[in-house]
Structure 1
């Protein structure tokens, strides 16, 4: 009898959709790295799904989603650098028709261009610029050209990083990415170039309340007390529920985060907020950690899902110690709240999802990207999975010593 897979049917389905959405632009190895699965495992899932699709017929919803993605990719490919995507006007901050160009360098350019006709001395006197300054400017022309070439190359690399991370990275993460590539570049320089060329990260939007407390639920102590730090992995977890608008409906997402590494260990998505939503996310986290999580503290708000008897039973089964903040205090679960803000800022910027499959794919894509590649400010700008790899390496070296 075949051994049951540690990956849920929900995860496999979303992984297949993520691979198909890449439309051949990414290899199995690249997608599998974000998913933290073996490339051959992903290849098998896709092959099996393709076999089933051939007999059952392609899903109309999937085809519509693929068509939308192809159209969006084509539109992005057509967009000119420095231009707002989908618009005919220059993007904000692109420098077109900007006043203030009447500076000394422009005057020296004019002197240089008309030196043979009018003479340098006369032109400098008429324009009221220093002749010695002009000669210094001429002497530094080669150096300026070299610096400009380096700056243009740096701006191009910043654009590539910004585009690769789908416009989500701001100055700090772009700077960390450049340093990760071996560049010794000042953060203020990166900020200046991004501001000059109109390159900016995402910004927050307003949020909506989703926590509905159960006043009759038995009390649970707050074992975290707003201390969102941990000395090791699987010491403290936290979780929460958020919502995503899909047309006129809602898709709800639950997650479980390791407070030490900020890694999303488990998640679940459904068009409801019943207790099974948070139970599925917790069980996925347990599987991610190999099944033995005895003693870990799980912190959440006092929503009815987390105070339910069914959720308490699952926690007891795995030896998980429950912890809850106060009713109506977002600061008591600030880490999870901050995580949701980042996800919404980077997946829902100026858009509303039309279909559930579209929303699931985008959120699944971001969650796997967040774990594998998104640099985190609380982790010295490592991704959560990179941080865990460093953590395990240090632990092995300590044991060897």
Structure 2
């Protein structure tokens, strides 16, 4: 596996991300970046402002093993207290958990007053089948057990949902729960039912469709992908695009991406306040640094002028990349890149229309892009993060392709 290289801009963004994340340890940020702790520490020594020196020293270098163990116990106690509190609240409301039902209320009335009146008589008056009542009564234990289990599951579902800022739906939450060793396996249909009962809905937002203005004078390359955004192994086929990031003051930042079709991994990206050719060149150079070599790979894009420019063509030839382009005005020909852009804006901006300022924009987008590879679960990757998917499945078997 070739060693990774990073641009100075990437290193400075990584340092800024750590210094602007109170409470986050060096190990946590390094894991999100897909690198090791020592690398991030070296970047902090070189580019850091020292704003979090005391905090990081305290959190990352405990004075003794006993302090670490005591802190772990306190964390477990706090978590258990929260779980008990939410479980007790849900248990008290268990009879309303699935929504109130008149038939169930009538069954309860019969059961509560069965010593005062005959069951047969009450069923006749209430127009109930006695067999239905007795079945309801015989299954009471199993119903209570299911409601109790749903209440416990509901706490964990809500925890994951909150941690991911409402961006995870039932299937991603299911994958997260099934990866936790202390949890029992659960089906996504059950998680969906629990989410409905808790009124938890994964965040969705329609994206605006924009078209690329092509430069008709420059060279147009043939479509080597044909809307088949797949590959048998990493580092074979890439897609890329530029998307704008609106700022509150009316300006824009821009993000250029290079995405591997095998794992949907974001191997290269660049953020800037301009949309010049150097932006897409920087993203491609970052991809080269991550993969070691891009020789023989295909890079697919739209007909934007930056991709048809002579400077970008020279960069592709230098790196041994073959260019590919879809049809003009057809977003489906670059659907993978478009989908990535939509997911980023949906999950970062959510209900906001703009970023507060350029600094905040760069920081939030950088954070999301790094976590996208190492943490965010992707449906294409069997609900694993792209980096984890590449480690577990380095090559797609022909029988599965």
Per the TM superposition, whether the score is higher than 0.5 is: yes
1:333 matched residue in structure 2:
334
2:33 equivalent in structure 1: 35
The answer for the alignment partner of 2:238 in structure 1 is 237
Residues 141-178 of structure 1 deviation map (CA, whole Å, 9 limit, x = unaligned): 32222111111112222212212222111122223333
| Separation in 2, partners of 1:155, 1:52 | 41
Q: Runs of 5+ in structure 2 lacking a partner?
A: 53-81, 87-92
Once the two structures are superposed, residues 120-143 of structure 1 have per-residue CA deviations (whole angstroms, 9 ceiling, x without a partner) of 555444433344544443333322
| Cα distance in 2 between the residues matched to 1:131 and 1:210 | 66
Change over 3 Å in CA distance of 1:121–1:171 after alignment to 2: same
Q: Structure 1 residues 123 and 21, CA, compared in 2 at 3 Å: closer, same or farther? A: farther
The alignment partner of 2:285 has SS state of: helix
CA contact (8 A) 2:239 2:300 kept: yes
Unmatched segments (≥5 aa) in structure 1: 55-76, 82-93, 396-401
Q: Residue in 1 aligned with 2:43?
A: 45
Equivalence map 1:280-359=2 (5 Å): 280-290=282-292, 292-351=293-352, 352-359=354-361
SS in 1 for 2:307: coil
Instruction: Give, in whole Å, the separation in 1 of the partners of 2:119 and 2:47.
Output: 76
Distance in 1, Cα, partners of 2:101 & 2:390? 53
* DSSP-derived class of the 2:267 partner: strand
Deviation at 1:313, TM superposition (A): 1.4
- For the 8 Å contact 1:210–1:241, the answer to whether it is kept is no
Query: Structure 1: how far apart are the matches of 2:339 and 2:258?
Result: 13
Q: State the alpha-carbon separation in 2 of the partners of residues 100 and 178 from structure 1.
A: 25
Q: Select between 119-128 and 231-240 the one with higher mean Cα deviation.
A: 119-128
Aligned to 1:68: none
- Residue 152 of structure 1 is matched in structure 2 by 151
CA distance in 2, matches of 1:102, 1:208: 45
Match of 2:62 in 1: none
**Offset, 1:284:** 0.5
TM-score where L is the length of structure 1: 0.79
| Cα contact 2:207–2:342 (8 A) shared by 1 | no
Give the count of matched residue pairs. 353
Q: Deviations over 1:344-375 (max 9, x none)?
A: 22112111211111111211121112111222
Deviates more, 1:136-145 or 1:108-117: 108-117
Contact 1:29-1:39 within 8 A present in 2 as well: yes
Aligned ranges 1:189-200 → 2 under 5 Å: 189-200=190-201
Tell me whether 1:270 sits opposite 2:275 in the alignment. Answer: no
- Distance verdict in 2 for CA 1:11–1:348, change over 3 Å: same
The structure showing larger relative contact order (alpha-carbon pairs under 8 Å, at least 6 residues apart) is 2
Q: Secondary structure at the match of 1:244?
A: strand
- Structure 2-normalised TM-score? 0.79
